[in-house]
Amino acid sequence: MPNRRSRFLRGKGSAVALSLCAVALCSCDFSSGVSAGGDLCVTPGVSADKVNIGLVLTDSQDDASASVFRAYRAGVEARISLANAEGGINGRKITYRWEDDQGNVRQNLFAAQSLVGSDDVFGLIETTAVASGSAEYLNGKGIPVVGIGIERQWSEYRNMFTHSYTAVQGSSVTTWGQFVRERGGRRAVILVSADNDASISSAQQLGDSLRSVGVSLADTITVARGITSQTGLVQKIRSSGADTVIGALDGDTFAQTMVSARQAGLRVGLYMSAPPGYSQQTLRSYGSGIAGMVAFAHFAPFELGLPADEHLLKALGQYAPYLQPANQSGAGDGWIAADIFLRGLETGGSCPTRENFIEGLSQLTHYDAEGLLASPIDLGSQRAAVSPCWYFVQVNADGTQFEPIGRVPRCGEVIQGGAGSGSGSS
């Protein structure tokens, strides 16, 4: 496949340049053109005035999933562009190339090998559900990776860093169960995606959280997107006698289920979604049909208007104006991932290496993305821990916006050695 390369301009020109880069492999250069003039550093991807990194994302799935990944890329672009506008990292500007892994494990490995081998990048940012495809390869070569921690490999390899672990076995927090109980929930069902490690692990964490505060788990129901009958699914929820339905799956599927259940006259006191439910795409698609739906998030909701949120939104408007609306959760995740990567580069000083990047981030024990995260995280000894603090939002009565439930995150206690939620029905 041919290489298409384009220099990103600042401001509105970014949108034009992005359209020129919309192919499977693209080189994107965000900078003011100022040379660092630093010492020569013999490190892959590092020159006297630049550090070239790679981005692996899924950009070719259905609209609901693709919109999240594209928002993530906008967040990455905005954070890198801002860093370059402020002089780069230790005098070097940051450039990146990206490849689409098509949501396929083998393609993910190919994308990583291409970026590391042919393009000689320093490290990778990944926004994909199949990072497991390249995890062993990248770990073996000591390549730094930052991204979305939705597979178990993110907690197993020392070269992989994330701000939110959703696939940690045997660990949970009481936070979600406490919220359900406060809302009157006493008997719940959890919806889980078929053959999805992140969804299965999240369901186990949620089940342990519910049981820890005395909320019974009536059933864990496996849902195959586009295959499972909504009629049959609603009947299973009805038969369970649950007063609470929790989605450990994508926001679109959960919203479909909520709408179908209401149309069938099913009375449920609380519908609560994992972070994917906090989505502007879902809100636009389902509107008042999901009024009252709750979602929890690991970073401050945009609707709070915190300084960290406003800083992010301003950068998105300046460097990624094509993302509309800008207040998309995927953009927040991309911004934070890029920020972590930049922190790693900073620790390398005048000559960053892959090893001192990994060592440097491993010593970062109180990272909060300058106030975006619900609670500081430890990227070292506690790097695979589930955060005890979460924000909660709720769709308003007319289905037009999310409203924060309180202005501060809710924090619970860590649960170790949970029993897991079991396989459930399908």
Q: Is the dihedral of CA 415, 369, 30, 315 positive or negative?
A: positive
Q: Mean of the pLDDT values across residues 380-388?
A: 79
Domain shared by 338 and 406, yes or no:
no
Element (DSSP H or E) covering residue 27: strand 25-30
So what's the pLDDT on residue 118?
83
- Would residue 150 count as lying in a domain? yes
Q: Hey, what are 359's tokens?
A: 């060592």
Domain shared by 17 and 158, yes or no:
yes
Q: Work out the angle at residue 130's Cα, subtended by the Cα atoms of residues 334 and 347, and round it to the nearest 5 degrees.
A: 45
- Would residue 376 count as lying in a domain? no
DSSP string, 35-76: --------BTTB-SSEEEEEEEE--SS-HHHHHHHHHHHHHH
So what's the pLDDT on residue 69?
84
Q: Hey, what are 40's tokens?
A: 């020569």
- Would residue 379 count as lying in a domain? no
pLDDT at 100 > cutoff 90: yes
CA dist 205 and 415 (Å) reads: 9
Total tally of structural domains belonging to the chain: 2
Full strand arrangement of the beta sheet holding 4-8: 4-8, 25-30, 93-100, 50-57, 124-127, 145-149, 160-165
- Would residue 378 count as lying in a domain? no
Domain shared by 395 and 356, yes or no:
no
Tell me the per-residue pLDDT of 292-310, one tens digit each, with 9 for 90 and over. Answer: 999 999 999 999 999 999 9
pLDDT at 420 > cutoff 60: no
Q: At what angle do helices 230-240 and 251-263 cross, to 10 degrees?
A: 70
pTM value is 0.86
So what's the pLDDT on residue 19?
33
Domain shared by 295 and 218, yes or no:
yes
Q: Is the dihedral of CA 350, 73, 77, 381 positive or negative?
A: negative
So what's the pLDDT on residue 169?
64
Tell me the per-residue pLDDT of 319-335, one tens digit each, with 9 for 90 and over. Answer: 999 999 999 999 999 99
Domain shared by 71 and 104, yes or no:
yes
- Would residue 377 count as lying in a domain? no
- Would residue 312 count as lying in a domain? yes
So what's the pLDDT on residue 385?
77
Domain shared by 11 and 160, yes or no:
yes
Q: Mean of the pLDDT values across residues 235-239?
A: 97
pLDDT at 29 > cutoff 60: no
Residue of 23 and 364 predicted with greater confidence: 364
CATH number at 87 reads: 3.40.50.2300
Domain shared by 133 and 260, yes or no:
no
So what's the pLDDT on residue 424?
52
DSSP 117: I
Dump strand ranges (E) for 128-206. 145-149, 160-165, 171-173, 187-193
So what's the pLDDT on residue 9?
29
Q: Is the dihedral of CA 46, 50, 51, 55 positive or negative?
A: negative
- Would residue 384 count as lying in a domain? no
- Would residue 256 count as lying in a domain? yes
So what's the pLDDT on residue 62?
61
Tell me the per-residue pLDDT of 385-409, one tens digit each, with 9 for 90 and over. Answer: 788 999 999 999 999 999 999 999 9
Domain shared by 332 and 291, yes or no:
no
Pairing verdict, β 216-223 and 270-273: unpaired
So what's the pLDDT on residue 119?
82
Domain shared by 25 and 80, yes or no:
yes
Ranking 6-15, 123-132, 226-235, 336-345 by mean pLDDT, the lowest is 6-15
* Structural domain harbouring 155: 4-168+305-371
